[in-house]
Chain A
Amino acid sequence: MTIENLQENLIEDFSFFDDWTQKYEYMIELSKTLDKMDDSLKNDENLIKGCQSKVWLNADFKDGKINFIADSEAIITKGIIAILLMVFNNKTPDEIIKSDVSFIEKIGLKEHLSPNRANGLYSMIKQIKFYAIAYNKK
């Protein structure tokens, strides 16, 4: 599926929720679906610094696609990481570079991405794009 299709699916999934509690419960469920990140990968190099909750992001480039693995100390942050990885994992650098991230707004999670929250998610999206740019040159 293309990044765009995946985003559309997510927007549709989230549109069924009546209120924020259902949305949060879904994100908490999603947080549990994340692949376990090995502790050795939770190093300073992979740490995305944020005042509120730590986020680690590791990237591997294989067969022309980027493999991301990520984790956070906070569950809601992890839920959003799961959403981001559902969209961006195992995609080519070119697809990632050309993608739009406004779907986060459309599923009603914009507040978690504001730089004010300083939770590392804003930086995580930036970091995903940086990896894509870096691997694109290879």
Chain B
Amino acid sequence: MKFDVKNIREDFPILKKQINGKQLIYFDNAATSQTPTCVINSISDYYNNYNSNIHRGVHSLSEEATEAYEKARGKIQIHFNAKHKEEIIFTSGTTHSINIVSNGFLNLIGEGDEIIVSGLEHHSNIVPWQMMCKKTNSKLKVIPLDKNGELDLKEFKNLVSKKTKLVFLNHVSNALGIINPIEEIIQISHSYNALVLIDGAQSAAHFKIDLQKLNVDFFTASAHKLCGPTGVGFLYGKKELLEKIEPFMGGGEMISDVTFEKTTYAEIPHKFEAGTPNISGVIAFGVALDYMNSLGFENIRQYEDKLLKYATEKLKEIDGLIIYGDVKNKTSVISFNISGTHSYDIGSILDKYGVAVRTGQHCAQPIMDHFDIPGTVRVSLSFINTFEEIDILQEAIIKAKSMLS
């Protein structure tokens, strides 16, 4: 099937926008993806037709909202192939999900235990574990990067031991786009009885993930990187693990019995969904997944791989352009600098040409330190981008470079 990007772009009203008098070219998809009309409409449809609090009313509206909310949970379960529907917990995003796990394990981890995180992490993925280790007197260990920016698996094998309780890493690095060998890491970790949490924020939009096949213990992703709204995501956990860990947020929805002496928690997933959730957001998340599935994840992957290959070639034609993390196993991201210039200058000039990129450290200071650079320009592609846009990007970078030299 031919991937008809011209037609697909019609689904995204924002792509008609002009920036500084130029047609918007959106290359910041890794920060947030754009939203198709069907997702936008599902949010207004919710508020126009069945806005109501879920899981408590006996009235029809509340039932309608609850049904739609739970239907979305089912869609996510099916898409990611979780065994049970209740293994999907709605959160405000990956940061929230990670905090559920890091706090949930406070009582299960103690002195002498070790947590391993990868050196390719986003700040939001480092801080919760530092806090956890401080509270439990456990130790945080980091998988180092090799010179290309890939995780050093050999080093990982040296770090992991019987003391390792949890291993945490992203599936795809937000700063470089490198795909980590999670299958291997999960397998090795399990051989030491260590649990694994994978952050799929940057991977779930680019390829289909099968949670049962991966045999991962915890997994998280955010809706806003998958054509959905901001402020919604989910945490997947194996049923027996979610039942074991304590919720860190108390409130309504998460209890089954409350007296002033004692509270009994509700069953999963509700145990972790305290308070009124982002109902319209969750429903819209389901619609976004339907939308992406209608395009087909395999088609998306193939098209994006071609785009990435073309963009990498085009950018490499520019004199003095250095790509970081230029490895075989990567997806949709090109992180670069032009020697003698600062990423901020390049990004500011590209913006004048209507090209949206991200510049700076990408909330991943340790990676920038690894390459000994203050930051990069990050071009992050998605299936809404075209080959023509990459040509315009190349031209704009060349103009920026000549202005700055």
A interface with B by C-beta (< 8 Å): 20-21, 24-25, 28, 51-54, 73-77, 112, 118-119
Check if B403 sits within 8 Å of A74, measured CB to CB: no
Chain B residues near A51 (CB, 8 Å)?
360-361
Chain B residues near A21 (CB, 8 Å)?
352, 403
B interface, size bucket: 10 to 19
Question: A53-B343, A75-B341, A119-B344 provided; 8 other pairs, C-beta below 8 A?
Answer: A24-B349, A24-B352, A52-B360, A74-B342, A77-B342, A77-B344, A112-B348, A118-B360
Check if B374 sits within 8 Å of A73, measured CB to CB: yes
Kindly name the residue among B345, B349, B374, B403 whose own CB sees the greatest number of chain A CB atoms within 10 A. B345
Check if A74 sits within 8 Å of B352, measured CB to CB: no
Chain B residues near A52 (CB, 8 Å)?
343-344, 347, 359-360, 375
Given contacts A24-B403, A28-B403, A75-B404, whether A53 and B344 have CB atoms under 8 Å apart is yes
Check if A75 sits within 8 Å of B352, measured CB to CB: no
Q: Cα distance A98–B359 when bound, in Å?
A: 35
B20 at the interface (CB under 8 A from A): yes
Chain A residues near B360 (CB, 8 Å)?
51-53, 118
B interface with A by C-beta (< 8 Å): 20, 341-345, 347-349, 352, 359-361, 374-375, 403-404
Q: Cα distance A112–B342 when bound, in Å?
A: 15
Partner of B403, one of A25, A53, A118: A25
Chain B residues near A112 (CB, 8 Å)?
348
- Distance in Å: Cβ of B341 to nearest Cβ of chain A: 7
- Distance in Å: Cβ of B239 to nearest Cβ of chain A: 40
Check if A74 sits within 8 Å of B345, measured CB to CB: yes
- Distance in Å: Cβ of A74 to nearest Cβ of chain B: 4
Partner of A54, one of B20, B341, B374, B403: B374
Given contacts A20-B20, A53-B374, A54-B374, whether A28 and B344 have CB atoms under 8 Å apart is no
Q: Cα distance A119–B343 when bound, in Å?
A: 11
Check if B348 sits within 8 Å of A76, measured CB to CB: yes
Q: Can you spell out 17 A-B residue pairs with CB atoms less than 8 angstroms apart? A: A20-B20, A21-B352, A24-B349, A24-B352, A28-B403, A28-B404, A51-B360, A53-B342, A53-B360, A53-B375, A73-B344, A74-B345, A75-B341, A75-B342, A76-B348, A77-B342, A118-B360
- Distance in Å: Cβ of A53 to nearest Cβ of chain B: 4
Q: Cα distance A76–B403 when bound, in Å?
A: 11
Q: Cα distance A87–B342 when bound, in Å?
A: 25
Q: Cα distance A35–B374 when bound, in Å?
A: 23
Q: Cα distance A138–B348 when bound, in Å?
A: 40
- In the complex, what residue of chain A is closest to B404 when comparing beta carbons? A75
Chain A residues near B347 (CB, 8 Å)?
52
Q: Cα distance A106–B347 when bound, in Å?
A: 22
- Distance in Å: Cβ of B7 to nearest Cβ of chain A: 34
